[in-house]
Amino acid sequence: MQDEVTKLKPGVVTGKEYLALVRHCKKEGYALPAINVTGTNTVNAALEGAAKSKSDIIIQLSNGGAQFFAGKGIKDVNLARVIGAVSAARHVHTVAKAYGICVVLHTDHANKGLIPWVESMVEASEAEYEKTGRPLFSSHMLDLSEEPIEENLAECERILKRLAKIDMSLEIELGVTGGEEDGVGSDLDQVDNNRLYTQPSEVLQAYEKLSPIGHFSVAAAFGNVHGVYKPGNVQLRPEILKQSQKHISEIFDTDGKPLDFVFHGGSGSSPEEIREAVSYGVFKMNVDTDTQFAFSKAVGPYVEAHPKAFKYQIDPEDGTPFKKHYDPRAWLRDCEVSMAERVQQACNELGSSGKSIAAE
């Protein structure tokens, strides 16, 4: 996981290709949108939006998104989370190349109770690596920010040792990103304000413990919040990222941005806030709430334009069949187009448009 690659084959990137993509983002001063998905429609919409922007992209699943991908009819929730994530990964592997861009496959927040979910996915990647020489996923996240930092880093160390053997990366969380995502996290009122801002000393502990093992990225807290909230709830302070980069680079005599940062709770952020965070070494920004809304908002106008089609198969007044209107492919396509447009907006705001490093 160390050779630089200038142009990569389209499709899912792992190992040294993934690291080359991360380095390119930081070198060129842009970040990739990380889009949470819940089914093939949202996967395809995310890929379409990125492809139209000529941008590489990160596709990721939360535990709830993975369960939904497998189907809510599966009674064993833990099983559904695993097979849903694996199923989604195989779908992305199958179609990503056709979109002509590089795709990172990732799983989102996993707290202490979800470590078994992560370990089961690691087992799937270990089996895939043994067969093909490549893991199924590019990276996983452990969000143990609610635990004491010693326990947080000890578990991260244990999992990273497994991931490093199969060319995978680990995303960790230091400090607490406000809000909640699929049952992971806390309401803002329940979080001590100081914990909403990661301290350079915490980043130093992580760097000392994990960097000798393998690649890791840091979801640092700088006042960011999951979801969209009214202004004034918290104050974004991206300069915290700058301070952490300086702290590590001075102690270990590295380049100016040794840390690979992730921006959680990016929905609703201003373009100026995004640009500042990216300038301090953020290569990835999570986008979930805004793309959920973009997907769903297309349903209302469609139903309003074809109200009878959602009540009758055939018009009771003149016998006109409504099949072409209630066909899920019709209205779900509107949802995909709307979400793809929001992904394009994210690519523009993050500066990734036109910067795909996939070979044409």
Confidence label for 110 from pLDDT (cuts 50, 70 and 90): very high
Q: Does the pLDDT at position 137 exceed 80? A: yes
Confidence label for 195 from pLDDT (cuts 50, 70 and 90): low
Question: For residue 2, what pLDDT is reported?
Answer: 40
Beta-bridge partners for 105: 59
Question: For residue 192, what pLDDT is reported?
Answer: 44
Confidence label for 194 from pLDDT (cuts 50, 70 and 90): low
Q: Does the pLDDT at position 321 exceed 80? A: yes
Report the distance separating Cα 61 and Cα 67, nearest Å: 9
Assigned token pair, 54: 């000529």
What are the Cα distances from residue 303, in Å, to 41, 147, 307, 324, 328?
A: 19, 46, 5, 13, 12
Element (H, E) at 268: none
Question: For residue 187, what pLDDT is reported?
Answer: 46
Q: Is 7 exposed, middle or buried (0-12, 13-18, 19+ CB in 10 A)?
A: exposed
**Residues acting as catalytic residues:** 108
Lowest pLDDT segment from 32-41, 103-112, 259-268: 259-268
Length of the chain: 360
8-state DSSP, 169: E
| 3-state SS class at 258 | coil
pLDDT digits over 4-22, tens only? 447 999 999 999 999 999 9
Question: For residue 47, what pLDDT is reported?
Answer: 99
DSSP β-ladder status, 216-220 and 261-263: parallel
In the chain, the amino acid numbered 57 is: I
Report the distance separating Cα 157 and Cα 173, nearest Å: 13
From the list 109, 104, 120, the residue with the least C-alpha distance to 162 is: 120
Beta-bridge partners for 173: 219
Question: For residue 1, what pLDDT is reported?
Answer: 42
Give ∠ CA 23-102-125 in degrees, rounded to 5: 90
What is the distance, to the nearest Å, from the Cα of residue 217 to the centroid of all Cα atoms in its chain? 12
Question: For residue 193, what pLDDT is reported?
Answer: 52
Question: For residue 220, what pLDDT is reported?
Answer: 86
Q: What DSSP line would sit under 29-52, residue for residue?
A: T--EEEEE--SHHHHHHHHHHHHH
Lowest pLDDT segment from 91-95, 126-130, 209-213, 239-243: 239-243
In the chain, the amino acid numbered 167 is: D
Q: Does the pLDDT at position 184 exceed 70? A: no
Going from the N-terminus, what domains does the chain have, and what CATH number goes with each?
Answer: 11-289+340-350 (3.20.20.70)
Confidence label for 176 from pLDDT (cuts 50, 70 and 90): low
Cβ atoms of residues 59 and 140 within 8 Å: no
Q: Does the pLDDT at position 48 exceed 50? A: yes
